[in-house]
Chain A
Amino acid sequence: MKFRYNITGLDCPNCAAKLAASMEKIDGVESAKINFLTEKLTVESSLDGDTLLPLLEKCASAFEDGIEIE
């Protein structure tokens, strides 16, 4: 399944790429892409939406404060 979120609070495109890379390490996440300019996060995952979002949020808040995903 493909999930799309808005992601705000990222600092720079480099950080965005790094965050996406660390999201890809979550179990059940096949790919994660962050478009820094459009502030969109696209995740391909076998998990369902309700389990996935908290995991992504956890990953983001471990990365940097103030990143919001919805």
Chain B
Amino acid sequence: MNRKKLKKRLKRLYKSEPLRILVGLCFFIPALILEHLGFEAISLGLFIAALLLSGATVFISAFRGILRGDVFDEKLLMSVAAVGAMIIGEAEEGVAVMLFFLVGEWFEHIAVRRSRNSIRSLMDIRPDTATVLADGAESVLDAEDVAVGSVILIRSGERVPIDCAVISGECDLDNSALTGESLPISVKIGDELSSGAVVLGGAVTAKTLRTADSSAAARILDLVENAQERKSRAESFITRFSRVYTPIVFSLALLMAVLPPIFGWLDLTDSLYRALSFLVVSCPCALVISVPMAFFGGIGNAASHGILYKGGNVFAPLSNISEVVFDKTGTLTEGRLIVDKITPADCAPEKLLSLAASAEYASIHPIARALKSAATEIYPAEEITEFSGKGIIARVNGISVAVGNSYLMAQLGFSVPNADGVYVALDGKYAGSIGFADEIKAEAPAALERLRRLGVKRLSMLSGDRRENAERVGAALSLDEINAELLPDGKLSLLEKKIAENRGSVVYVGDGINDAPCLARADVGIAMGSLGADSAIEAADAVIMSDNLSRLPDAVKIARKTERIAKQNIVLAIGIKALVLLLVSLDISGMWMAVFADVGVAVLAILNSFRALIGKRK
């Protein structure tokens, strides 16, 4: 075991660039001095030693590349350039190329490691252990080993390790790692806790509902980690480009080596030198890393805001939106009814509300809930009779209370106008009606205004609800277009029409339960408030974990910034490479510049991508 460890250590040491650079320099510097003093033979020996010692691993990988039949391997290209430079009598340049390449690789590794670590710390929401209570004893287990239905203890300040339901205790819950919302919510017995949330101000015991692997935090991490698999257009462009780029530059290098001497433009050494520099620039690594690195940063940044992009493919359409289509209920509105308007016929409004709420007390219908939360006083109800699809009749404080729709009223012998809401009859006399409304989300107007400022031309609504409700919400938010009373297939065909009409992309925002077809069909489908709803996550291209609409403009902004950085990286990588190729062929720059165009550009692209990772948290 120890021997194995030692071997591992040595291997790692031998891989470490700083050591090889140092060793190389130990020979390279004396060699330079001796060459200057005129000891050519000794200095050549030292140059060769410097190249072999610092470049050993590069040569070995290059050799493996040849065995695999892989001629466009970075290491092979570097080796050929370095050895080639030696052969044409540019020993010093050969060593410099190798050292410079190692320095570049070293920086590249540092930069990649830094980005990886910062993403990991953003995503560090999954605790490794859970405190399990069994037979009155506490034991700390690996979260993965905790069986479903175990009882776990979560103390104040700890992260919820596994999705669970509270069985005792009360606490506040900070869901910000999951939803990006910083306001803690309070939690009572019976409430579900999602893994990754932080318990505050009290300890709770809870029964686990899932295994750690299928809990919220693990699913989110999985989504983010696999996000890279859905390739964007920019990514496939750069992959295709690098596939033709390398062979083209490689052939240019060959022409560079052969043609000028044949036509007598340059002597052989000069043209070989330029050809070798070309070889160095032909390496595709900087290109290949430029785009995914930017997207990786953007995906990580968004995740810390509770916005999950399912792949790099959402960035382009999300940065170029022309229309955003909203579902109404649960998306623009809270999805919860509130009492809007009381129209008494012949009694005090408060009394009407109290009696109606009391009669409905036992019901879980959304209307009953709205009545209960609006009423100031509630009395016990007896002799409750429910008429399915019509309403309820009960005796409250000795009064016979009938609450229901027009069918119930017709049954009782009243004729009432057909409107939204319920009618109330007291002791066989019509007493008035109560209207309801679905409350518009408080942040909706500001969020929509921000979308317009971000350049979205059209905001529209597709709703399954009644026209007047849809129009009320639409007018309050000054939407450009309101479509109501739609069935799911009607929504889909209208959405398809919009996709065909718009030049830019059409985004569909829904709460995900019945919006799956539209989420899947839109250029970008964004599911909201979907912590835990698998079908929505499945169908959508992006998921906003909270139901806060202000995350929507945030999502657009992050996508834009990321897309911009990815494009900058493409221009940077291709631009610098093209420029260096030009400079080299005109003999303005040497081989060291070519190495910069290879590893230096990769480092720059990674550093630039780092910007995508950084974003203000609102």
Which residues of A come within 8 Å of B, CB atoms?
9, 11-15, 17-18, 22, 33, 35-40, 62-66
Q: Which residues of A contact B93 (CB under 8 A)?
A: none
Q: Which of B112-158 contact A (CB under 8 A)?
A: 112, 115-116
Determine whether the beta carbon of A38 is less than 8 Å from that of B15: no
A35 touches which of B68, B105, B225 (Cβ 8 Å)? B225
Q: Which of B584-618 contact A (CB under 8 A)?
A: 602
Determine whether the beta carbon of B11 is less than 8 Å from that of A35: no
Give per-residue flags for B64-101: 1 if the beta carbon is below 8 A from chain A beta carbons, else 0.
Answer: 10001010011000000000000000000000000000
Complexed CA–CA distance, A39 and B60 (Å): 23
Chain A CB within 8 A of B326 CB: no
Shortest Cβ distance from B68 into A: residue: A22
Determine whether the beta carbon of B61 is less than 8 Å from that of A14: no
Determine whether the beta carbon of A11 is less than 8 Å from that of B288: no
Known: A37-B296, A65-B57. 19 other contacts (CB 8 A): A9-B15, A11-B74, A11-B109, A12-B74, A12-B108, A12-B289, A13-B285, A14-B285, A18-B68, A18-B70, A33-B229, A35-B228, A36-B292, A37-B115, A37-B293, A62-B64, A64-B64, A66-B11, A66-B12
Min Cβ gap B349→A in Å is 60
Q: Which residues of B contact A22 (CB under 8 A)?
A: 68
Complexed CA–CA distance, A58 and B423 (Å): 77
Chain A CB within 8 A of B512 CB: no
Complexed CA–CA distance, A63 and B105 (Å): 18
Determine whether the beta carbon of A39 is less than 8 Å from that of B288: no
Determine whether the beta carbon of A40 is less than 8 Å from that of B289: no
Chain A CB within 8 A of B306 CB: no
Shortest Cβ distance from A33 into B: residue: B229
Determine whether the beta carbon of A35 is less than 8 Å from that of B229: yes
Complexed CA–CA distance, A39 and B15 (Å): 18
Determine whether the beta carbon of A12 is less than 8 Å from that of B116: no
Min Cβ gap B613→A in Å is 12
Complexed CA–CA distance, A18 and B602 (Å): 18
Q: Which residues of B contact A12 (CB under 8 A)?
A: 74, 108, 285, 288-289, 602
Complexed CA–CA distance, A14 and B73 (Å): 9
Complexed CA–CA distance, A18 and B69 (Å): 12
Chain A CB within 8 A of B317 CB: no
Min Cβ gap B601→A in Å is 12
Instruction: Across the A-B interface, give the 9 residue pairs with the lowest CB-CB distance, nearest first.
Output: A38-B225, A37-B296, A12-B285, A66-B15, A13-B288, A14-B285, A14-B288, A13-B289, A66-B11
B74 touches which of A14, A36, A37 (Cβ 8 Å)? A14
Complexed CA–CA distance, A33 and B231 (Å): 13
Determine whether the beta carbon of A39 is less than 8 Å from that of B116: yes
Min Cβ gap A51→B in Å is 21
Q: Which residues of A contact B61 (CB under 8 A)?
A: 64
Q: Which residues of B contact A39 (CB under 8 A)?
A: 116
Min Cβ gap A49→B in Å is 16
Complexed CA–CA distance, A65 and B60 (Å): 9
Determine whether the beta carbon of A40 is less than 8 Å from that of B64: no
Min Cβ gap B103→A in Å is 15
Q: Which residues of A contact B330 (CB under 8 A)?
A: none
Shortest Cβ distance from B293 into A: residue: A37
5 contacts between A and B (CB under 8 A): A12-B108, A14-B289, A37-B112, A63-B68, A66-B11
Determine whether the beta carbon of B228 is less than 8 Å from that of A38: yes
Min Cβ gap A64→B in Å is 6
Q: Which residues of A contact B285 (CB under 8 A)?
A: 12-14
A14 touches which of B11, B226, B284 (Cβ 8 Å)? B284
Q: Which residues of A contact B289 (CB under 8 A)?
A: 12-14, 36
Complexed CA–CA distance, A34 and B156 (Å): 39
Complexed CA–CA distance, A66 and B47 (Å): 27
Complexed CA–CA distance, A17 and B602 (Å): 17
Complexed CA–CA distance, A26 and B180 (Å): 43
Min Cβ gap B183→A in Å is 31
Complexed CA–CA distance, A17 and B292 (Å): 13
Complexed CA–CA distance, A64 and B60 (Å): 9
Complexed CA–CA distance, A14 and B602 (Å): 12
Determine whether the beta carbon of B228 is less than 8 Å from that of A37: yes
Min Cβ gap A30→B in Å is 16
B105 touches which of A9, A11, A37 (Cβ 8 Å)? A11
Complexed CA–CA distance, A56 and B70 (Å): 19
Complexed CA–CA distance, A30 and B274 (Å): 43
